[in-house]
Amino acid sequence: MKSLPQCKALKAIHETQGRIFAAHFIKKDGTLRKMVARIGVTKHVKGGTNGTSAKNNLVTVYDMAKGGYRTINLRTLLTLKVGGEIYEVIPPHHTQGKQNEPI
The pLDDT tens digits for 26-51 are 999 999 999 999 998 877 777 666 66
Q: Spell 81-101 as b/e; 16+ CB within 10 A means b.
A: ebeeeebebbeeeebeeeeee
Predicted pLDDT of residue 21: 98
Query: Residue 76 maps to which CATH number?
Result: 2.30.30
Which of the four pLDDT bands, split at 50, 70 and 90, describes residue 54?
A: low
- pLDDT given for residue 89 in this prediction: 96
Tell me if 102 is assigned to some domain.
no
Which whole-number Å values give the CA distances from 70 to 37, 44, 59, in the listed order?
Answer: 9, 12, 8
Report the mean per-residue pLDDT for the chain. Answer: 86
Is 98 within the bounds of a domain? Answer: no
- Write the pLDDT tens digit of every residue in 70-83: 999 999 999 999 99
The parent domain of residue 16 ranges over 2-92
Q: How many domains does the chain have?
A: 1
H or E segment to which residue 89 belongs: strand 85-90
* Residues shown for the chain: 103
64 is a domain residue: yes
